[in-house]
Amino acid sequence: MTEIYLPELPRLLPVAYHPKAAQLEFRSNGWVRRLLGGCFMREEDLFYFLRQRNGMYGPLTVPDADERRALDVTDWYQYVTVIDSAVSDGSALGADESDAREVFAGIMNDFHGGPGGSEQFPYARAGKELWRRISSGLSSAQIRRFADALEVFLRGCATEIGFKLKDRVPDYETCMAVRMNSFGCDFIRLMTEYAAEVDMTAHDSLLTDVHTHGMRQMIIVNDLLSWRKEHAQGDKMTLVRVLIERRGLGLQQSVDQLCRLVEHHEKAYLAARDRLLDGPHGSHPDLRHYLRGLDHVIGGSQEFEYLTPRYFGDGYVWDGSTSGWISLTAPVTRFRPHSGHDPDADASLTVGAGRPAPSMTRS
């Protein structure tokens, strides 16, 4: 199949843009250029990354945050997205699992201030700068979780490289478990706390159902909307491919099944959230602030994935559509009301048409 139909997803959670969304995106793009520019082989590749509008993920997921904290969160998400892009690049970190693990060990060593660190290493330099900014606003328990969350994310990224290089497709639960790590679920929760200026460490057991269903909803939505990109890169760690190769479903059947799971997890998240709010802990102001923040993370993450050229091609501009046919072969695609040839894909969408993924340095 050369196209899929994406049905309208429930979208029961609020979507809001930070009042300084544009300024935050621009400032964060400047930070990426200054501190992470060395992660790209060429300046052209850096610009390709910036055109993906990854700097909008923060303003969409922490719309109520203080401006300084919102910028910290925006820079953090750009940082981990640069790493994720390198992991997906077969000429960079994605070329060798053991090399990637060595690089990731170096990142963690520098993150902890271990011996032999190098401020010239762009991942380390950016990570240390973020660590200094963000950790000052965290409790001691959250600081420990922050370091653990980065290590878990990097381990998940390395595991994904291994599956891709060995041409192995995992079963559903294995894929979901790895994706929980490589999607950054631990630091997503922590950044939500940081933005809301609360500490949920002591309430973790109360939030199990909320987190399970909320994070699964985010991962499945991501795997649906990023399928065009992951398909082109031959990614094995995506739920669409798992349903095709491990459960024998057709492509459209897999998409439809995952859409049903999005609805299930979204409604289950809302039910678990409401049970908390209506229960004995529901009057706790920090818990209420956090849950409001989590609502915005889930809704905002989905909004970002509709609008980013990262998933729909360099030159893509979102028109607000959230359902329709998506070409898997056009250099740039969009949501179309009908199946079949997309004339727009052959006409004006030539800026970056056919462009390969950006080249990332391996260190």
Burial-class residue 355 by CB neighbours within 10 Å (0-12, 13-18, 19+).
Answer: middle
pLDDT tens digit sequence for 3-18: 999 999 999 999 999 9
Mean pLDDT across 115-123: 67
Q: Provide, rounded to the nearest whole percent, the portion of the chain with pLDDT above 70.
A: 92
pLDDT tens digit sequence for 223-243: 999 999 999 988 889 999 999
Cβ pair 259, 227 in contact under 8 A: no
DSSP letters along 186-207, please?
Answer: HHHHHHHHHHHT---GGGGGGG
Q: Which is it for strands 324-327 and 3-6: parallel, antiparallel or unpaired? A: antiparallel
Q: Which helix (H) or strand (E) holds 329?
A: none
Measured between alpha carbons, how far is 300 from 305 in angstroms, rounded to an integer?
Answer: 9
Measured between alpha carbons, how far is 253 from 251 in angstroms, rounded to an integer?
Answer: 5
pLDDT at residue 348 is higher than 90: no
Give the CA distances from residue 189 to residues 2, 148, 195, 301, in Å, rounded to whole numbers and listed in that order. Answer: 36, 13, 10, 13
pTM for the full predicted model: 0.93
90 alpha carbon, distance to own chain's centre: 19
| Confidence band of 116 (pLDDT split at 50, 70, 90) | low
User: Nearest to residue 178, comparing CAs of 227, 236, 229, 217?
Assistant: 236
> Tell me, what's the pLDDT at 89?
86
Mean pLDDT of the chain: 92
pLDDT at residue 213 is higher than 90: yes
Q: Provide, rounded to the nearest whole percent, the portion of the chain with pLDDT above 90.
A: 80
pLDDT at residue 345 is higher than 70: no
Measured between alpha carbons, how far is 235 from 231 in angstroms, rounded to an integer?
Answer: 6
> Tell me, what's the pLDDT at 351?
36
Phi, then psi, of 66 in degrees rounded to 5: -55, 145
Cβ pair 5, 255 in contact under 8 A: yes
Phi, then psi, of 327 in degrees rounded to 5: -75, 140
- In the chain the domains, ranked by start, together with CATH numbers, are 3-338 (1.10.600.10)
Measured between alpha carbons, how far is 311 from 225 in angstroms, rounded to an integer?
Answer: 7
> Tell me, what's the pLDDT at 302?
98
Burial-class residue 8 by CB neighbours within 10 Å (0-12, 13-18, 19+).
Answer: exposed
Query: What 3-state class would DSSP assign to 49?
Result: helix
> Tell me, what's the pLDDT at 195?
98
pLDDT at residue 55 is higher than 80: yes
Cβ pair 10, 267 in contact under 8 A: yes
Measured between alpha carbons, how far is 122 from 256 in angstroms, rounded to an integer?
Answer: 41
Residue 358: DSSP 8-state: P
pLDDT at residue 342 is higher than 80: no
pLDDT at residue 363 is higher than 50: no
| Confidence band of 341 (pLDDT split at 50, 70, 90) | low
Q: Around Cβ 247, how many Cβ atoms within 10 Å? A: 12
Residue 139: DSSP 8-state: -
